[in-house]
Amino acid sequence: MENALRACCKGIKIGKILIHREGDNGQQLISEKLPNDISDRHVLLLDPILGTGNSAVQAISLLIKKGVPESNIIFLNLISAPQGIHVVCKRFPRVKIVTSEIEIGLNEDYRVIPGMGEFGDRGTDQERKVHSHPGKGILAADESTGTIGKRLASINVENIESNRQALRELLFTSPSSLSYLSGVILFEETLYQKTSDGKPFVEVLQENNVIPGIKVDKGTVEIAGTNGETTTQGFDSLGARCQQYYKAGARFAKWRAVLKIGPTEPSELSIQQNAQGLARYAIICQENGLVPIVEPEILTDGSHDIKKCAAFTETVLAAVYKALNDHHVLLEGTLLKPNMVTPGSDSPKVAPEVIAEYTVTALRRTVPPAVPGIVFLSGGQSEEEATVNLNAMNKLDVLKPWTLSFSFGRVLQQSTLKTWAGKKENVEKAQAAFLARCKGNSEATLGKYTGGVVVCVRAYLDNDKNVFFEADSDSFVTKRMAALLVQGLSGQPLEQIINAGVENPNVAMNGDSGNGKLNSGETASDLKKDWGNGSVLGSRGMRIKETG
């Protein structure tokens, strides 16, 4: 470009600006050799490609600092990505951009042109890769050391690095499970961990066409003067950390903002602080080559009804997208991770179809169609509830301009964790449980989930013919399956009981999630005959034990 410019404009003064990330320290190395009178001149800024716009912003900022008027700068390049043009125009509206081609599709290495090297800006085609494959979602494996410690404690496993690594390896090497995932959100520790064979987890994921992501926030702190409302921290050196995470293999990031519903909450202060924080995080990520997942979570704690949750969800999302626009965030290069619209945890439950209608309506009123994908958090729901509700949303017959998928953590891992129990001999069974959850949620993203009876139920019969149950959860689906088993012990075909819709009110429920399915036409006698008293019922995950 320099030689061509000299041939066209003889006698022109040419200066040089070098912008490069120096090593692993995340700092920008900017070297410049410019004419002393540059502030009095018009400047043609030459760069072969305009990708994310990060280098362009740095160079233009340097010229303005040297006294060059913004209107005197013309940016010339051979090829541009839409994001780069958007970023430069929003930041410097009076700078003129001249390009020979705008390239929408970036290559598999996230660069506009293969082989441009370290100086080439990186684009953000990752968001398409993360969400664009039908039937795929995101595994949230970004629990902090404290959070994962609580989960390990629930299975009496010590919270040490080797046990955390073993759990991650179990998940990331689960046969076939990764085929249902497009991305995995990692904690910083996990980003640099390896398998027991010495292969980095990042490479394991990449080899299975799963994009590594990274949690970049540092948790929440209380907003002074509020009733326990919080804002998210983690902006210190965020840009430098994003650069380091990119070099380590991460291609997207997540930042969680937390709001609550109460008598006077969420306050306007809480809404605005969290919206502005999400927007600031998002633009920093985009400037450093990471796709930001924007996560404004409204907690389910409370006795509010679904209408109140819907109203505040709309208010919060509207504020978030206003802030994203104000910060010049490219919406096409983002994903949204919201809560589903549900009643409070202390309120009566509603049908999945009701949750689907309220949730999709709230999204249609607030989320621009430029956003390519929405990946839901589970928000305290049981494994079955979260999956059934996601399925209902995808079955809803209304226009939905975005992909509706999942970004679940506990919902995908809970059964796996309990099956594993920290024992090597249980790894294969635990991976089978993980596969079942991934497959079920994959089906839900397509509106094809038929696992309404997928539960794990254990039945006990005493000498007085009283039947007691331990089951996966207290969800309606699980209770109904337990009731069917109660009737099934009487010898009636389960198909007849299902058709009759019979329920037993005297069912005692206890426990956590699992997987399994009963076949129509089977009786309890058939089950005991096939698998025996007290035995594990094969891959169905059910057990019947007769104690009397």
Give yes or no: 357 in active site.
no
User: What is the torsion angle, in degrees rounded to the nearest 10, for the CA atoms of residue 132, residue 255, residue 438 and residue 522?
Assistant: -120
Residues 131, 136, 142, 147: is their CA dihedral positive or negative? positive
From CA 521, how far away is CA 203, in angstroms rounded?
A: 47
Give yes or no: 295 in active site.
yes
From CA 272, how far away is CA 296, in angstroms rounded?
A: 11
Note whether 80 and 99 are within 8 A (CB): yes
From CA 294, how far away is CA 374, in angstroms rounded?
A: 10
Note whether 138 and 183 are within 8 A (CB): yes
Nearest CA to 530 among 544, 520, 517? 544
From CA 482, how far away is CA 532, in angstroms rounded?
A: 19
Tell me the HSE value of 4 on the side-chain side, using a 13 A CA sphere. Answer: 7
Identify the H or E element spanning 248: helix 238-248
Is residue 232 left, alpha or beta, with left meaning phi > 0 and alpha meaning psi from -120 to 50? beta
Nearest CA to 274 among 240, 239, 301, 312? 312
Note whether 434 and 177 are within 8 A (CB): yes
Residue with tokens 């640099």: 192
Structure token pair of residue 43: 């400047």
From CA 486, how far away is CA 507, in angstroms rounded?
A: 8
Please tell me which residue in 337, 418, 439, 528 is annotated as part of the active site.
337
Please tell me which residue in 127, 229, 287, 295 is annotated as part of the active site.
295
Q: Is the peptide bond before 369 cis (omega within 30 degrees of 0)?
A: no
Instruction: Show which residues are catalytic.
Output: 295, 337
